Amino acid sequence: MDGAIMSFDSYYNEMYLADGNVRRHYVPLAEWIAGTPAEHIQQMRQAAHLLFHRVGITFAVYGEEAGAERLIPFDMLPHIIPAAEWRDIANGLRQRAKALNAFLHDIYHGQDILKAGKVPSEQVLKNRQYRPEMAGIDLPGGIYAHIAGIDLVRAGAGEYYVLEDNLRTPSGVSYMIENRKMMMRLVPELFARQAIAPVEHYPDMLLENLRSVAPDGVENALAICLALAFGRGRPDQHAVAARAVHFLHHQFRKMFQHVGEILLESQLVGGHIVEQRFFAEIKADHLRDVRID
Protein backbone atom coordinates (compact mmCIF):
# COMPACT_ATOMS: atom_id res chain seq x y z
CA MET A 1 0.00 0.00 0.00
CA ASP A 2 2.86 2.40 0.79
CA GLY A 3 4.04 2.38 -2.81
CA ALA A 4 0.60 3.53 -3.99
CA ILE A 5 0.59 6.69 -1.82
CA MET A 6 1.06 9.84 -3.89
CA SER A 7 3.25 12.75 -2.92
CA PHE A 8 1.89 14.75 0.00
CA ASP A 9 3.17 17.98 -1.51
CA SER A 10 0.30 18.25 -4.01
CA TYR A 11 -2.76 17.28 -1.99
CA TYR A 12 -4.07 16.44 1.46
CA ASN A 13 -4.27 12.70 2.05
CA GLU A 14 -7.41 12.06 4.08
CA MET A 15 -6.45 8.54 5.10
CA TYR A 16 -2.65 8.50 5.50
CA LEU A 17 -0.13 10.57 7.39
CA ALA A 18 3.07 11.74 5.71
CA ASP A 19 4.98 8.81 7.22
CA GLY A 20 2.55 6.34 5.61
CA ASN A 21 0.69 5.43 8.80
CA VAL A 22 -3.11 5.44 8.79
CA ARG A 23 -4.81 8.36 10.49
CA ARG A 24 -6.46 7.20 13.70
CA HIS A 25 -10.06 7.79 12.62
CA TYR A 26 -9.43 5.76 9.44
CA VAL A 27 -7.97 2.69 11.17
CA PRO A 28 -11.23 0.67 11.27
CA LEU A 29 -11.78 1.32 7.57
CA ALA A 30 -8.19 0.39 6.70
CA GLU A 31 -8.58 -2.87 8.61
CA TRP A 32 -11.82 -3.62 6.76
CA ILE A 33 -10.17 -2.97 3.39
CA ALA A 34 -7.23 -5.21 4.27
CA GLY A 35 -9.55 -8.04 5.28
CA THR A 36 -11.98 -7.78 2.35
CA PRO A 37 -11.18 -9.35 -1.05
CA ALA A 38 -10.97 -6.80 -3.85
CA GLU A 39 -13.47 -8.74 -5.95
CA HIS A 40 -16.02 -8.53 -3.11
CA ILE A 41 -15.63 -4.75 -2.94
CA GLN A 42 -16.12 -4.58 -6.70
CA GLN A 43 -19.28 -6.69 -6.43
CA MET A 44 -20.69 -4.32 -3.82
CA ARG A 45 -19.89 -1.34 -6.03
CA GLN A 46 -21.72 -2.98 -8.93
CA ALA A 47 -24.68 -3.77 -6.67
CA ALA A 48 -24.88 -0.13 -5.60
CA HIS A 49 -24.78 1.02 -9.23
CA LEU A 50 -27.63 -1.35 -10.12
CA LEU A 51 -29.79 -0.26 -7.20
CA PHE A 52 -29.29 3.45 -7.90
CA HIS A 53 -30.21 2.79 -11.52
CA ARG A 54 -33.44 1.05 -10.49
CA VAL A 55 -34.41 3.81 -8.08
CA GLY A 56 -33.54 6.49 -10.63
CA ILE A 57 -31.32 8.63 -8.40
CA THR A 58 -29.67 10.76 -11.06
CA PHE A 59 -28.31 14.25 -11.57
CA ALA A 60 -27.85 16.58 -14.52
CA VAL A 61 -24.48 17.98 -15.56
CA TYR A 62 -24.42 21.66 -16.49
CA GLY A 63 -23.14 22.26 -20.00
CA GLU A 64 -24.10 18.85 -21.30
CA GLU A 65 -26.91 18.26 -23.76
CA ALA A 66 -30.43 18.69 -22.43
CA GLY A 67 -31.82 15.59 -20.80
CA ALA A 68 -28.42 14.02 -20.11
CA GLU A 69 -28.54 12.36 -16.71
CA ARG A 70 -25.94 10.48 -14.71
CA LEU A 71 -26.29 8.13 -11.80
CA ILE A 72 -25.39 9.44 -8.35
CA PRO A 73 -21.62 9.13 -7.79
CA PHE A 74 -20.90 6.47 -5.22
CA ASP A 75 -17.60 5.60 -3.56
CA MET A 76 -17.20 2.53 -1.38
CA LEU A 77 -14.51 4.38 0.58
CA PRO A 78 -16.27 6.95 2.75
CA HIS A 79 -14.92 10.37 3.68
CA ILE A 80 -14.55 10.28 7.47
CA ILE A 81 -14.49 13.51 9.50
CA PRO A 82 -13.70 13.34 13.24
CA ALA A 83 -16.47 14.73 15.48
CA ALA A 84 -14.38 17.62 16.86
CA GLU A 85 -13.35 18.68 13.36
CA TRP A 86 -16.94 18.50 12.15
CA ARG A 87 -18.15 20.69 15.02
CA ASP A 88 -15.78 23.45 13.89
CA ILE A 89 -16.93 23.06 10.28
CA ALA A 90 -20.62 23.06 11.26
CA ASN A 91 -20.22 26.20 13.38
CA GLY A 92 -18.52 27.96 10.49
CA LEU A 93 -21.21 26.91 8.03
CA ARG A 94 -23.97 28.16 10.35
CA GLN A 95 -22.18 31.49 10.66
CA ARG A 96 -21.79 31.66 6.88
CA ALA A 97 -25.48 30.92 6.25
CA LYS A 98 -26.45 33.73 8.64
CA ALA A 99 -24.03 36.10 6.94
CA LEU A 100 -25.41 35.25 3.49
CA ASN A 101 -28.96 35.91 4.65
CA ALA A 102 -27.83 39.20 6.22
CA PHE A 103 -26.18 40.12 2.89
CA LEU A 104 -29.40 39.44 0.96
CA HIS A 105 -31.45 41.42 3.48
CA ASP A 106 -29.09 44.37 3.10
CA ILE A 107 -29.16 44.15 -0.72
CA TYR A 108 -32.95 44.48 -0.70
CA HIS A 109 -33.04 47.13 2.02
CA GLY A 110 -30.35 49.66 2.94
CA GLN A 111 -27.65 48.35 0.58
CA ASP A 112 -25.01 49.43 3.09
CA ILE A 113 -22.48 46.95 1.73
CA LEU A 114 -22.79 48.55 -1.72
CA LYS A 115 -22.54 52.08 -0.36
CA ALA A 116 -19.39 51.08 1.54
CA GLY A 117 -17.85 49.82 -1.71
CA LYS A 118 -17.27 46.32 -0.32
CA VAL A 119 -19.08 44.84 -3.32
CA PRO A 120 -19.29 46.62 -6.69
CA SER A 121 -22.88 47.79 -7.20
CA GLU A 122 -23.00 46.69 -10.84
CA GLN A 123 -22.23 43.10 -9.87
CA VAL A 124 -25.44 43.03 -7.86
CA LEU A 125 -27.87 45.52 -9.35
CA LYS A 126 -27.14 44.49 -12.96
CA ASN A 127 -27.21 40.77 -12.21
CA ARG A 128 -30.12 39.09 -13.98
CA GLN A 129 -31.04 37.32 -10.73
CA TYR A 130 -31.46 40.59 -8.84
CA ARG A 131 -35.16 41.30 -8.25
CA PRO A 132 -35.85 45.03 -7.79
CA GLU A 133 -39.49 44.21 -6.98
CA MET A 134 -38.24 42.60 -3.75
CA ALA A 135 -36.72 45.87 -2.49
CA GLY A 136 -38.08 46.84 0.92
CA ILE A 137 -40.04 43.63 1.43
CA ASP A 138 -39.53 42.04 4.85
CA LEU A 139 -39.52 38.25 4.79
CA PRO A 140 -40.61 36.05 7.72
CA GLY A 141 -37.71 35.72 10.11
CA GLY A 142 -35.55 37.75 7.74
CA ILE A 143 -34.67 34.51 5.99
CA TYR A 144 -34.07 34.58 2.25
CA ALA A 145 -32.28 31.25 1.92
CA HIS A 146 -33.86 28.56 4.08
CA ILE A 147 -31.47 25.92 2.80
CA ALA A 148 -27.85 26.50 1.83
CA GLY A 149 -25.73 24.02 -0.07
CA ILE A 150 -22.17 25.12 0.65
CA ASP A 151 -19.52 23.22 -1.30
CA LEU A 152 -16.22 22.68 0.50
CA VAL A 153 -12.79 21.68 -0.81
CA ARG A 154 -9.72 20.69 1.18
CA ALA A 155 -6.27 22.07 0.33
CA GLY A 156 -2.83 20.51 0.67
CA ALA A 157 -2.31 21.46 4.31
CA GLY A 158 -5.72 20.10 5.31
CA GLU A 159 -7.50 23.46 5.54
CA TYR A 160 -11.03 23.81 4.19
CA TYR A 161 -12.13 26.39 1.64
CA VAL A 162 -15.58 27.26 0.34
CA LEU A 163 -15.83 26.45 -3.36
CA GLU A 164 -19.26 27.99 -3.84
CA ASP A 165 -22.51 28.84 -2.05
CA ASN A 166 -25.75 27.42 -3.40
CA LEU A 167 -28.77 29.33 -2.10
CA ARG A 168 -31.33 28.37 -4.72
CA THR A 169 -33.04 25.64 -2.70
CA PRO A 170 -30.45 22.95 -3.43
CA SER A 171 -31.63 19.36 -3.38
CA GLY A 172 -28.29 17.54 -3.32
CA VAL A 173 -28.74 16.54 0.31
CA SER A 174 -30.91 13.68 -0.93
CA TYR A 175 -27.80 12.19 -2.54
CA MET A 176 -26.23 12.10 0.93
CA ILE A 177 -29.25 10.35 2.42
CA GLU A 178 -29.41 7.76 -0.34
CA ASN A 179 -25.64 7.24 -0.20
CA ARG A 180 -25.81 6.56 3.55
CA LYS A 181 -28.67 4.12 3.09
CA MET A 182 -26.65 2.27 0.49
CA MET A 183 -23.55 2.07 2.70
CA MET A 184 -25.56 0.75 5.65
CA ARG A 185 -27.14 -1.86 3.38
CA LEU A 186 -23.88 -3.05 1.82
CA VAL A 187 -21.38 -2.77 4.67
CA PRO A 188 -23.23 -2.62 8.03
CA GLU A 189 -20.09 -3.94 9.72
CA LEU A 190 -18.33 -0.62 9.11
CA PHE A 191 -20.97 1.22 11.12
CA ALA A 192 -20.62 -1.31 13.93
CA ARG A 193 -16.92 -0.49 14.27
CA GLN A 194 -17.32 3.27 14.77
CA ALA A 195 -19.82 5.73 16.23
CA ILE A 196 -21.15 7.39 13.08
CA ALA A 197 -23.34 10.48 13.36
CA PRO A 198 -26.80 9.87 11.82
CA VAL A 199 -28.21 11.75 8.84
CA GLU A 200 -31.71 10.27 8.61
CA HIS A 201 -33.13 13.03 10.84
CA TYR A 202 -32.38 15.67 8.19
CA PRO A 203 -35.96 15.64 6.78
CA ASP A 204 -37.31 16.43 10.25
CA MET A 205 -34.89 19.35 10.52
CA LEU A 206 -35.90 20.56 7.05
CA LEU A 207 -39.61 20.53 7.87
CA GLU A 208 -38.98 22.28 11.18
CA ASN A 209 -36.97 24.93 9.37
CA LEU A 210 -39.70 25.54 6.78
CA ARG A 211 -42.44 25.69 9.38
CA SER A 212 -40.44 28.12 11.52
CA VAL A 213 -41.35 30.99 9.17
CA ALA A 214 -45.08 30.31 9.23
CA PRO A 215 -47.34 33.16 10.44
CA ASP A 216 -47.79 33.47 14.18
CA GLY A 217 -50.42 31.13 15.57
CA VAL A 218 -50.21 28.66 12.68
CA GLU A 219 -49.43 25.12 13.79
CA ASN A 220 -48.34 22.28 11.51
CA ALA A 221 -47.99 24.67 8.60
CA LEU A 222 -48.30 23.19 5.14
CA ALA A 223 -45.07 22.92 3.14
CA ILE A 224 -45.09 22.51 -0.63
CA CYS A 225 -42.19 21.44 -2.83
CA LEU A 226 -42.23 22.75 -6.39
CA ALA A 227 -40.07 21.01 -8.97
CA LEU A 228 -39.81 21.09 -12.73
CA ALA A 229 -40.98 17.82 -14.22
CA PHE A 230 -38.53 17.85 -17.09
CA GLY A 231 -35.55 15.55 -16.85
CA ARG A 232 -35.16 13.19 -13.95
CA GLY A 233 -32.44 14.18 -11.53
CA ARG A 234 -33.70 17.25 -9.71
CA PRO A 235 -37.42 16.31 -9.62
CA ASP A 236 -36.50 12.87 -8.32
CA GLN A 237 -34.35 14.43 -5.62
CA HIS A 238 -37.15 16.80 -4.63
CA ALA A 239 -39.51 13.84 -4.53
CA VAL A 240 -37.13 11.96 -2.22
CA ALA A 241 -37.06 14.92 0.16
CA ALA A 242 -40.81 15.40 -0.09
CA ARG A 243 -41.56 11.77 0.77
CA ALA A 244 -39.15 11.84 3.68
CA VAL A 245 -40.53 15.08 5.10
CA HIS A 246 -44.17 14.20 4.33
CA PHE A 247 -44.90 17.50 2.61
CA LEU A 248 -46.68 17.96 -0.69
CA HIS A 249 -44.71 17.58 -3.90
CA HIS A 250 -46.02 19.11 -7.11
CA GLN A 251 -44.58 19.10 -10.58
CA PHE A 252 -45.35 21.97 -12.91
CA ARG A 253 -46.32 19.85 -15.90
CA LYS A 254 -48.97 17.99 -13.91
CA MET A 255 -50.47 20.88 -12.00
CA PHE A 256 -50.27 24.06 -14.07
CA GLN A 257 -53.65 25.07 -15.42
CA HIS A 258 -52.88 28.78 -15.30
CA VAL A 259 -49.25 29.84 -15.56
CA GLY A 260 -48.38 31.87 -12.50
CA GLU A 261 -51.05 30.58 -10.15
CA ILE A 262 -51.11 27.49 -7.98
CA LEU A 263 -54.03 26.85 -5.66
CA LEU A 264 -54.50 24.14 -3.06
CA GLU A 265 -58.22 23.65 -2.44
CA SER A 266 -59.80 23.86 1.00
CA GLN A 267 -60.03 20.60 2.92
CA LEU A 268 -62.62 19.20 5.30
CA VAL A 269 -60.89 17.91 8.44
CA GLY A 270 -62.82 16.53 11.41
CA GLY A 271 -65.99 18.25 10.34
CA HIS A 272 -64.26 21.63 10.10
CA ILE A 273 -63.22 23.36 6.92
CA VAL A 274 -59.52 24.08 7.02
CA GLU A 275 -58.64 26.55 4.30
CA GLN A 276 -55.23 25.88 2.86
CA ARG A 277 -54.62 28.17 -0.08
CA PHE A 278 -51.21 28.33 -1.64
CA PHE A 279 -50.52 30.99 -4.26
CA ALA A 280 -47.28 31.33 -6.18
CA GLU A 281 -46.53 33.95 -8.78
CA ILE A 282 -43.96 32.55 -11.19
CA LYS A 283 -42.13 35.08 -13.37
CA ALA A 284 -41.90 34.34 -17.06
CA ASP A 285 -38.09 34.14 -17.08
CA HIS A 286 -38.27 31.34 -14.53
CA LEU A 287 -40.34 29.35 -17.02
CA ARG A 288 -38.22 30.01 -20.11
CA ASP A 289 -37.37 26.31 -20.48
CA VAL A 290 -40.75 24.97 -19.40
CA ARG A 291 -42.88 23.14 -21.93
CA ILE A 292 -46.49 22.55 -20.92
CA ASP A 293 -48.25 19.83 -22.86
pLDDT category at 148 given cuts 50, 70, 90 is confident
Chain segment 223-276, per-residue pLDDT in tens: 766 665 444 445 556 666 666 666 666 555 554 444 444 444 444 445 444 444
Contact status, residue 160 vs residue 18, Cβ threshold 8 Å: no
pLDDT number for residue 149: 87
For residues 154, 158, 159 and 165, what is the CA-based torsion angle, rounded to 10 degrees?
20
The whole domain housing 122 covers: 80-168
Helix (H) or strand (E) holding 239: helix 233-245
pLDDT tens, position by position, 4-59 = 555 556 789 999 998 999 999 999 999 999 999 999 999 998 898 888 877 766 66
Q: Is there a domain that residue 90 lies in? A: yes
Q: Is residue 70 part of a domain?
A: no
- The answer to whether residue 208 is domain-embedded is no
How high is the pLDDT of residue 67?
53
Angle at 137 (CA atoms; ends 134, 138), nearest 5 degrees: 135
Q: Is residue 22 part of a domain?
A: no
Number of domains the chain is built from: 1
Answer yes or no: is 277 within a domain: no
Angle between the 233-245 and 202-211 helix axes, to the nearest 10 degrees? 80
pTM of the model: 0.74
